[in-house]
Amino acid sequence: MIKTLLIANRGEIARRVMRTAKRMGIRTVAVYSEADAEAPHVREADEAILLGPAPASESYLLADKIIEAAIVTGADAIHPGYGFLSENAGFAEACAKNNIIFVGPSPEAIRAMGLKDQAKALMEKAGVPVTPGYHGENQEPAHLAAEAGRIGYPVLIKAVAGGGGKGMRKVEAADDFLAALDSCKRESSKSFGDDRVLIEKFITNPRHIEVQVFGDSRGRVIHLYERDCSLQRRHQKVIEEAPAPGMTPNVRQAMCSAAINAARAVNYVGAGTVEFIVDGSGALREDGFFFMEMNTRLQVEHPVTEMVTGLDLVELQLKVAAGGSVTEQDTIRLSGHAMEARLYAEDPVAGFLPSTGPLERLEFPEAAAGRRVDTGVEEGGEVSLFYDPMIAKLIARGESRLEAAHALAEMIDDLIVYPVRTNAGFLRRTVLHEDFLAARLSTGFIEANIDALVPAAVNPADAAFAVLGALDLRPVLGGSLDPFEAADGWRLNASPRLEHRFVVGEETFTVALGRGPRSLTVTALGQTAELRAVSLENLDQGYGFTAHVYGEAVSAVCEALEAGMLVSCQGRSTLFAYDNPEAAADALEAGDVIKAPMPGKVLAVHVKAGDSVTKGQALVVLEAMKMEHALAAPRDGVIGELTVEAGGQVAEGDVLVALEALEDVAA
């Protein structure tokens, strides 16, 4: 039995592993960077060791320091979580050399599955179906281009050492191949220190279905059924669910058997996931899935498997690592349906740019049966630019898929996050989209429906709640609320009407609240919403409104801040700032400058002073939160000033490029 467990990770997964370890009576040790000194996972551990500065390369990726921390604290096992060193064979070997249990597979298994080209060759020998493609050693661009032509477009270029959606490019035509190859190799080299790639046939209308497997030291391997992870953006998973929609007993048997064969081929011990690309052009077929890769660790989406099997995967990991056996296959049953949504600190309205900073307000849904929130942050903390921008995982279970989807949407409705922007509204629209609810899924689902999935920056319902909140109606309680009956000077000789001016972001607008024959109306940004049966509730922080808007019951929480009204509605938290002339002047000036939307490193500067540019032209490329972001010209013009150069660091709001004023250009 493991007595002391060091968790070589941070945030949500560190807390999740710690929760199970504590329940099992295992002492826990956390490691942390200087940026995480006040993080929840540090506070909740029995002991914590500082590794170094904030960058992962100077803290969480320092294998020697983590081993030293384990020795100093008397840890007899290390759980790597996911990411960082979780699939590092050298780290697993270092654990073994120091008589420390690595909670994961052997170094040999990690290496065998770590390089995609070698793994695919191994799978072919094991009889596991693989996607047609080129997995050879010749990395000359001309040779790779010829192989892509032989395979037939569209193709997928993938980093040999890749993972997490990094180093992957879809190419539609031969003319685009070399540029995509160069971009893929550059990203792969930065992320993995290896720029080699392989090429695969891109499966039209693909689905991504994976199988959770577990092996023990006695050579037994079982599966815990499948998960569907088809909903992705830029190859990053967004929504995961179990079981896979449309799965039949025959296809499940074929796919799970293939996954077990894949694990047995490398004598796999511990938790692993075998991922398949699946032909989703019609009904699932026994010959319609192909091995993609094996993740030799616990997956981010493991909670959906736990919700439908009733098993604690971390508990099973710890038992197997200590020499125990896997559960008998015939005892594992599927029950109900579960979905997980990844709540990210990013702004869909601004092209999904990362959003970092303090979490002044952070409220998650209340705990309830069939609902779970896994998070590594709390109110008063912050989203750091140094690590993955995931705030939390929201998991919901229902007896049916539709029940799970609606339960997940309800969880999103109860979120409050401010001032960091999130993808919550985007997630809600996704799980309630008619095609998603009908299980018409593919990895291209989000891209194909992006306009319908990204909410407007402001909608009339939110604006209505902002106006009601601004009136400070907390003393007025009851089933039905008519603001025009308040003795506060609202009534005029004309039809009752109240106007408020707000600023959201850089846009100033007027919200007009009027009274119809049986309802209130609100007009904002050219749209009018009708509100019926408005009710009000006092809350610990602020107050809540519920109204029928366009026939739908909509609830919101309003909080009066010094700058304006914070309205949290359907996953969106929007500050309706009170009109400020200085803010309006700043907004007018914004058309002449390009500011850093987040802290980051300047990767490239594509222009110089005096260059003529066109609207939408990429001027500067930033790297933040492990992703590249191209900043474009807001209008046609001439570069007046550059304040940055490649390799420099910038803070959020820094002016990077200034265009000459329009009147100067005209002169």
Q: Could you list the active site residues?
A: 297
C-alpha to C-alpha distances, 385 to 162, 200, 356, 578, 654, nearest whole angstrom: 22, 33, 6, 29, 15
Furthest-apart CA atoms within the chain: distance in Å: 86
Write out the two tokens for 393. 């995982």
Q: C-alpha angle 67/99/25, rounded to 5°? A: 80
CA–CA separation, 132 and 575 (whole Å): 51
Q: Is the dihedral of CA 161, 167, 172, 178 positive or negative?
A: negative
- Alpha helices of 444-500 — where are they, by DSSP H? 445-448, 450-453, 460-470
**Beta-strand runs (E) in 539-635:** 543-549, 552-560, 564-569, 572-578, 593-595, 600-605, 612-613, 618-624, 627-632
CA–CA separation, 561 and 572 (whole Å): 16
Residue 542 burial (10 A CB sphere; 0-12, 13-18, 19+): buried
Three-class DSSP category at 613 = strand
Strands 27-33 and 47-52: parallel
Q: Is 383 left (phi over 0), alpha (psi -120 to 50) or beta?
A: beta
Q: Is the dihedral of CA 101, 104, 105, 108 positive or negative?
A: negative
Strand order in 77-79's β-sheet? 47-52, 27-33, 4-7, 77-79, 101-102
Three-class DSSP category at 60 = coil
CA–CA separation, 547 and 422 (whole Å): 24
The amino acid that residue 294 corresponds to is: M
The amino acid that residue 320 corresponds to is: V
User: Which residue, 203, 227, 165, is CA-closest to 289?
Assistant: 203
